[in-house]
């Protein structure tokens, strides 16, 4: 009985989506669960920018876009279901905003021939495009961001971290463990002591870790957190009066939702960011064409926040890749393979970002067959609790490629050996 019902519903599902001539960008979002504070603004920004393109320009190159949304709750099994149910719609690129789901999708999408863009998350070694043909993680990855953070600390300490103690507070998952290898190499190189403190998912309980921090008194605390973990960590840091300007989050631990719950105590908290913050002309257009028109994906209250901007930036990069692909192939209705070629030939410049209405939203970078990772630059921002805004305090800082590149080659070579992949791009 159940089986019959199952089939009836699945059959209905398979019959439903007709191949429409539009550009499909599935959004595997999470608006529920412990990671929703990060998932909601990102998904809003991603969807709203495509709505803007539809409303203002009539799509990209004359073809309308659509963003079918599927709720994953940051759960990998739901992510698989979402992937399977949306890939038949003619999906051009997947951006799951979850390292776990990205790991899950890398082999599947590579077989199905659909590109994945894990922007600043996912598998770091996917930056090696000669092994990971279908996976992109420009403009930066976790190892870059670890290196950028250490470079920032070096600049604060006259170039030496000798004898300093740096704690890494990380989400105990594939995501949080990613930077450890890089930081271990860096700690040997610069002679600082690395203290690793794991926080189990979802991260509400950190009393023990902060007790350790209180006892060990590290000079700096770096945080690889996401969702509720960030809010709790900042609150705990405030509780033990840990100096906020020595507490640095990575680019997933530096949004408004993370610092506002701690109130004034969060003032001065630092975090890395890959995109710019602050006012941009594109926000006015989104307000006019999308939110005022009642077409916003969410409540419309996230406009201009850090993660909204990042979601929008992700959509901008995808839209630009579509334009490149349309130009390369001379057709407006591109498919996933053309999209991949477009992503691989991206060349982002300042003028281009200004033409999107978002000057300085990210670093200038270009993608090539072998390099799917971009420059990996990031800037440091600081929370101003009085004005309730993030202030960018440094320019883009470059990572130390001499550290990250060998690690990327090593890890991707291991993946290639496991899966019998021949390197491309010779």
Partner 1 sequence: MFYREAGDFKTTYAADNQTFPIAFDRWRYWAVLFVAVVVIPLVINEYWANALLLPFLIYAIAAIGLNILTGYCGQVSLGTGGFMAVGAYATYKLMTAFVWMDMVTVTLLSGLVTAVVGVLFGLPSLRIKGFYLAVATLAAQFFLVWIFNRVPWFYNYSASGQINAPERLMFGVPVTGPNAEVWVKYLFILGFVIVLAWVARNLTRGSVGRQWMAIRDMDIAAEIIGVNPLRAKLSAFAVSSFFVGVSGALLFSVYLGAVEVGEAYGINKSFLVLFMVIIGGLGSIFGSFAGAAFMVLLPVALKILGVDMLGWPTNIVAYIQLIIVGALIIFFLIVEPHGLAQLWRLAKEKLRLWPFPH
Q: What torsion do the CA atoms of 333, 335, 337, 341 make, to the nearest 10 degrees?
A: 30
Residue 137, token pair as written in the block: 């993680």
Closest CB 17 distance from partner 1, rounded Å? 9
Strands 379-384, 389-392: pairing is antiparallel
> Of 10 and 425, which CB lies nearer to partner 1 in the complex structure?
10
Name every residue whose Cβ is closer than 8 Å to that of residue 354 and which is 6 or more positions away in sequence.
none
Which listed range, 83-91, 314-322, 343-351, 363-371, lies at the site for partner 1 (CB under 8 A)? 83-91
- 207 near partner 1 (CB under 8 A): no
Q: Give the C-alpha separation, 423 to 416, whole Å.
A: 8
Q: Of all helices (H) and strands (E), which one includes residue 366?
A: strand 365-366
From 52-60, 178-186, 242-250, 365-373, give the range in contact with partner 1 by CB under 8 A: 178-186
Per-residue contact flags (x/-) with partner 1 for residues 29 to 48, judged by CB under 8 A? x-xx---x------------
Q: Which of 201, 235, 302, 404 binds partner 1 (CB under 8 A)?
A: 201
- Contacting partner 1 (CB under 8 A), which of 158, 387, 418, 422? 418
Nearer CB in complex with partner 1: 115/363: 115
Phi-psi region of 163 (alpha: psi -120 to 50; beta: other; left: phi over 0): left
Judged by CB under 8 A, the residue of 64, 73, 352, 421 near partner 1 is: 73
Interface residue with partner 1 among 56, 165, 181, 323 (CB under 8 A) is 181
Q: Give 279 or 418: the residue with its C-beta nearer to partner 1.
A: 418
Return all residues near 173 (Cβ < 8 A) that are at least 6 apart.
99, 100, 201
Q: Is 58 in the site for partner 1 (CB under 8 A)?
A: no
Closest CA to 17 of 63, 70, 54: 70
Applying the rule CB under 8 A, the residues between 363 and 402 that interact with partner 1 are none
H or E segment and range at residue 313: helix 306-329
The correct pick among 22, 57, 66, 103 for binding partner 1 (CB under 8 A) is: 103
Please identify, using beta-carbon distances, which residue of 297 and 316 lies nearer to partner 1: 297
The Cα–Cα gap between 236 and 272 comes to 20
Q: Is the dihedral of CA 100, 101, 104, 105 positive or negative?
A: negative
Q: What string marks each residue from 121 to 140 as x (binds partner 1 by CB under 8 A) or -?
A: --x-----------------
Query: In terms of Cα–Cα distance, which of 94, 269, 250, 79 is closest to 177?
Result: 250
State yes or no: residue 217 binds partner 1 (CB under 8 A).
Answer: no
Q: Residue 91 forms beta bridges with which residues?
A: 24
For tokens 């809010």, the residue is 231
Q: Least separation, in Å, of the C-beta of 424 and partner 1? A: 18
| 83 or 390: CB nearest partner 1 | 83
**Options 77, 188, 288, 395; binder of partner 1; rule CB under 8 A:** 77
Of the residues 110, 164, 329, 384, which one makes contact with partner 1 according to CB under 8 A:
110
The closest of 364, 412, 420, 334 to 140, measured between CA atoms, is 364
- The answer to whether 196 contacts partner 1 (rule: CB under 8 A) is no
Burial of 418 (0-12, 13-18, 19+ CB in 10 A): exposed
N-to-C CA span, the chain: 55
Residue 6 binds partner 1 (CB under 8 A): yes
Rg (CA), the chain: 21
Is 214 a binder of partner 1 (CB under 8 A)?
Answer: no
Q: Point out which residues bind partner 1 (CB under 8 A).
A: 2-3, 5-7, 9-10, 12-14, 16, 29, 31-32, 36, 69-71, 73, 75-78, 80-81, 84-85, 88, 99-100, 103-104, 107-108, 110-111, 123, 172-174, 177-178, 180-181, 198, 200-201, 411, 418-419
């Amino acid at each position: 009985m159940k089986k019959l019902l199952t089939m009836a519903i699945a059959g209905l599902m398979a019959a439903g989506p007709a191949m429409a001539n539009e550009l499909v960008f599935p959004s595997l979002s999470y608006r529920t669960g412990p990671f929703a504070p990060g998932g909601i603004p990102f998904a809003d920004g991603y969807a709203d920018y495509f709505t803007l393109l539809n409303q203002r320009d009539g799509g990209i190159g004359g073809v309308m876009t659509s963003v079918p949304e599927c709720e994953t709750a940051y759960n990998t099994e739901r992510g698989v279901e979402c992937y399977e149910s949306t890939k038949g719609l003619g999906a051009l690129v997947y951006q799951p905003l979850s390292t776990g789901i990205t790991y899950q999708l890398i082999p599947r999408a590579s077989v199905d021939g659909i590109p994945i863009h894990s922007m600043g998350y996912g598998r770091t070694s996917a930056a090696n495009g000669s092994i990971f043909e279908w996976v992109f993680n420009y403009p930066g990855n976790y190892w870059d961001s670890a290196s950028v953070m250490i470079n920032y600390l070096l600049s604060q300490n006259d170039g030496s971290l000798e004898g300093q103690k740096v704690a890494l507070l990380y989400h105990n998952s594939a995501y949080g463990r990613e930077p450890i290898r890089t930081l271990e190499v860096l700690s040997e190189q610069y002679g600082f002591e690395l203290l690793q403190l794991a926080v189990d998912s979802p991260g509400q309980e950190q009393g023990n870790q902060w007790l350790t921090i209180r006892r060990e008194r590290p000079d700096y605390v770096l945080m690889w957190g996401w969702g509720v973990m960030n809010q709790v960590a900042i609150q705990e840091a405030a509780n033990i009066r840990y100096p906020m300007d020595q507490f640095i989050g990575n680019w997933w631990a530096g949004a408004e939702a993370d610092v506002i719950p701690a109130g004034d105590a969060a003032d001065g908290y630092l975090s890395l960011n890959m995109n710019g913050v602050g006012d941009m002309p594109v926000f006015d257009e989104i307000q006019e064409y999308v939110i005022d028109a009642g077409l916003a994906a969410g409540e419309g209250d996230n406009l201009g926040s850090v993660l909204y901007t990042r979601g929008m930036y992700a959509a901008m990069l995808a839209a630009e890749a579509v334009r490149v692909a349309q130009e390369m192939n001379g057709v407006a209705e591109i498919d996933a393979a053309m999209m991949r070629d477009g992503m691989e030939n991206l060349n982002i410049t300042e003028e281009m970002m200004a033409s999107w209405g978002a000057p300085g939203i990210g670093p200038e970078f270009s993608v090539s067959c072998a390099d799917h990772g971009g420059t990996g630059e990031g800037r440091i921002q600081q929370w101003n609790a009085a004005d309730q805004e993030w202030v960018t305090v440094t320019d883009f800082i470059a990572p130390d490629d001499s550290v990250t590149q060998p690690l990327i080659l090593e890890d991707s070579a291991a993946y290639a050996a496991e899966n019998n992949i021949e390197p491309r791009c010779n």
